[in-house]
Amino acid sequence: MSPNTATAIAHPNIAFIKYWGNRDQTLRLPENGSISMNLEELTTRTRITFDQAFSSDIFDLNGLRQSGPALQRVVTHLNVIRGIRGIATRAHVMSENNFPIGAGIASSASAFAALTVAAVNAMGLEMSEKDLSRLARRGSGSACRSIPTGFTEWYRGNSDMDSFAVSIAKPNHWDLVDCIAVVAAAHKKTGSSEGHKIASSSLFQAVRVADADRRIDRCRDALLARDFDALAEIIEEDSNMMHTVMMTSRPALFYWEPATIEIMKAVQTWRKTGIPAAYTIDAGPNVHIFCESKALENVKHRLASIPGVKEVLVAHPGSGAKIV
């Protein structure tokens, strides 16, 4: 194989209904289905070059040469894709995130979505969106949701073959905005890959998983009907349930900071006074506050006045992963 290059971009996504826990750690088959929105303003751009002259894979992230677990995770994912193509050619991967590094914004979804699309293209493989999503899932579960456009649903599925994400609404379906209140920029101590492994040690995980289809149906209905109150209720309940599991796992995972709970309480109070805002929190202390665009300036202003909020990033519904 002569040198082959491709560049792809992908956006991270924020889950309305969360993925937490795998039934197969290697294949990253989730315990439950999930629903999310791609974040347009936040972008990962990845360029990959395969060259027989390389003796090992190289991975640069934001201009810094990576080693250890970060490199190994990329190599493992490339090995899966090389296995499909039946080649052993090594690659140089150059990835850039436009969002502040260490701002606690999960980048593995956009990272593995962009890497998958770039690597498949550079190898000359033709793949459907479904197969790209299945493949991205192997790198990071939530990456499968960054392949299709807009608002996406990841099917739990029965096997590797049918666990993938599809678009359930285009980005322009609803003028929702995600205001990301950054309360801590430090790297989280326990990443989600580790968290998924201990999810089942919480007695509440079985209850959370058993009820997942109800939450997914409610969320999908609210989203398709653009019913903000119904969406607010279900995403906050779902986020609270995931954090209940995290806090009762062995060892217990506490991702919140004092400002996290201040924001959660404030958002609930705002909604009672008619402001369309709702929160959801991933495996970190930062809070994603959804609102309709008519409330954006008001919500941003209020968030900025809460002690402990360092920065507010704004993201609109985003497109899927693509070659550029």
104 in contact with ligand PMV (CB under 6 A): no
Angstrom distance (rounded) from CA 197 to CA 23: 9
Nearer to ligand PMV among residue 141 and residue 317 (C-beta): 141
153 in contact with ligand PMV (CB under 6 A): no
Which distant-in-sequence residues (6+ apart) come within 8 Å of 172 by Cβ?
Answer: 150, 317
Q: Which of 32, 49, 142, 249 binds ligand PMV (CB under 6 A)?
A: 142
Instruction: Using alpha carbons only, give the angle 89, 91, 93 rounded to the nearest 5 degrees.
Output: 160
Q: Per CB under 6 A, which of residues 291..320 are in contact with ligand PMV?
A: none
Q: Which of 31, 57, 236, 282 binds ligand PMV (CB under 6 A)?
A: 282
Let me know: does 47 contact 118? Beta carbons within 8 Å.
yes
How much of the chain is in helix, strand and coil states, percent to nearest 5? 40, 25, 35
Nearer to ligand PMV among residue 90 and residue 137 (C-beta): 137
Angstrom distance (rounded) from CA 154 to CA 162: 10
Contact window for ligand PMV (CB under 6 A) among 138-146, 215-223, 231-239, 262-270:
138-146
Nearer to ligand PMV among residue 139 and residue 171 (C-beta): 139
Nearer to ligand PMV among residue 18 and residue 77 (C-beta): 18
Give the H or E element holding residue 187.
none
Nearer to ligand PMV among residue 109 and residue 287 (C-beta): 109
In angstroms, the Cα distances linking 21 to 73, 111, 204 are 19, 20, 12
255 in contact with ligand PMV (CB under 6 A): no
Binding mask 106-125 for ligand PMV (x = CB under 6 A): x-xx----------------
Contact window for ligand PMV (CB under 6 A) among 39-47, 96-104, 134-142, 256-264:
134-142
193 in contact with ligand PMV (CB under 6 A): yes
At 240, list the tokens: 């609270």
Q: What are phi and psi of 148, to 5 degrees?
A: -80, 170
Nearer to ligand PMV among residue 109 and residue 299 (C-beta): 109
Angstrom distance (rounded) from CA 51 to CA 110: 24
140 in contact with ligand PMV (CB under 6 A): yes
Q: Minimum CB separation from ligand PMV for residue 316, in Å?
A: 18
Q: Minimum CB separation from ligand PMV for residue 305, in Å?
A: 27
19 in contact with ligand PMV (CB under 6 A): yes
Let me know: does 280 contact 238? Beta carbons within 8 Å.
yes
Give the H or E element holding residue 256.
none
Which residue type, as a one-letter code, is found at position 265?
K
Q: Which residue, chain included where needed, has tokens 């889950």?
A: 15
User: Which residues contribute to the site for ligand PMV (CB under 6 A)?
Assistant: 15, 18-20, 34, 106, 108-109, 140-142, 192-193, 196, 282-283
